[in-house]
Amino acid sequence: MARVALCQDVMVEYMGFMLISSYLKQEGHTVELFFDDQTHEERFIRELERFQPDVVGFSILSPSVRWALRTATQVKDRIGAVTVFGNVHAIMSPNFIENAGVDIICQGEGEYCMRELCDALDAGRDYTGIEGFWVKKPDGEISKNPMCAELVDMDAMPSPDRVMYDKYGFFRHSPYLRVLAGRGCPFRCTFCSNPVLMDHYGGAKQYVRKKTPQNAIREIEEMVANHPRKVKFIFFIDEVFWVKNDWLREFLTLYKERIGIPFNANFRFGGIQEEDIKLLADSGATIMNVAIETGSEEQRKGMMNKPFSDEQILQVTDWMHKHGIRFGSSAFFGMPGDTFENLVERLEFYRKVNPLYLYTTFFQPYPGLSLTQHEEVQKLMPANRDYGLTVHHEMYLDLPDKDRMTNLKKVYFLCMKFPRLSPVLLWLTKFRIPLLFDALFVSHFTYYVFRFERISFFQWFVHMKVFAINPILRKRRRSVQDQGQAKEAKVAKADVGGSAGD
């Protein structure tokens, strides 16, 4: 039977990996998870060598591309396994397959494709024609196979394989569970990959799916019973928790009766009534994520294509306050047209909304996004800049007053939450004091991860190491390497010049 290594560089459970593993193990294949914190590259490769995989899989978002390609090249050189890349970046940038070290990119949902690949390898069959895969042949020709005719039936899925994550104490001792009730989002926000995926998979009617409430509850019961530690909190990681209100009402009634564990989920605007908010509260929704994105209605409805007014948002959030549901919200920075002054003006709207936490993020123009193609974004795109995997993304677009807006982003929550402190913080943003602003950001982000992510102190430390400390160490290491290469090139050039002079 085939041996499959699933590799990732982010310390979070990948639901796709867990489901792929369940499908493969049903057929008798062996699956193992490998996490690379990118501080001991040789040790990570040796771990893979000891496992001796036939297939090495990567689930990639744009910030992980550099790491994944570097790792895949070593896998090909030292192990010779088949490398498979899936998830958003592979779908939205299919030319990715032209890179060295890439054998296959998955253009469909990975469960069926990976099972067919492993079955073919086990039987010694040709796998270049598997539906949903683009396969690079030995001569360099690429077999661009069509999509699978059918998407995965959510209700027919096996339970996710959480056991493979339990080798890491970070997950084994976690007091929470991450749960998936469905796939897809019906909205077409320009800064998000969901519209692209929705079209890729045949439209919202086919792509946006939920398990039946009964099956979703049964699976949660099973996961809670089998978790190594008592489950104190549940995260629903669906892009939107529900699509239809009838589904929500049936699910919440069952959840209250049979689960009763506090939970967090992504809130969906549109068509919601106050009685639904009350039902959410009664069923255990202690915290929700409310994606406001910007305090400017014009920017929200225009460039972002998120069709919700300030009035709608304030109505819903007032209901949440009334019924005791705490919630976090979001604010994009670094959009075309953003200035320091208008970002400060938007604080007033967020103060009216009054979220428990305000999460700030710089817009990242990832390949394939609708907003990335916008004329104003293209004008501001720098050349050859990476997408960093950090707890605090740097501003990507080249905007005026960039340094001051970067400082503001790090203290925006504090300015919103403590208006009397705001004038001092806004004045400080004039100065380059990176250590101060980083410290302020980490302090309130720590508040966020403990209140919203419900993590232990050990998990917080791992998050800080992976998303804050390690990226700094890698950046410094690359800088030293670049300086060394530049010095070597300078010496070589001088040697060539000297030889020519002789």
Rounded Cα distance, 32 and 5, in Å: 5
Residues 6+ apart with CB under 8 A from 92: 193, 196, 366, 367, 368, 369
Rounded Cα distance, 310 and 375, in Å: 26
Q: What is the pLDDT of residues 282-291, one digit of tens each?
A: 999 999 999 9
Judged against a pLDDT cut of 90, whether residue 408 lies above it is answered with yes
Mean pLDDT of the chain: 91
The strand pairing partners of 105, in sequence order, are 85, 134
The answer to whether 334 touches 362, Cβ cutoff 8 Å, is yes
Task: Find, among 390, 387, 381, the residue nearest to 336 by Cα.
Answer: 381
Judged against a pLDDT cut of 60, whether residue 455 lies above it is answered with yes
Judged against a pLDDT cut of 60, whether residue 502 lies above it is answered with no
pLDDT value of position 115: 96
Task: Find, among 232, 130, 238, 243, the residue nearest to 180 by Cα.
Answer: 238
Question: Using the 8-state DSSP alphabet, how is residue 18 labeled?
Answer: H
Residues 6+ apart with CB under 8 A from 298: none
Q: What is the pLDDT of residues 416-436, one digit of tens each?
A: 999 999 999 999 999 999 899
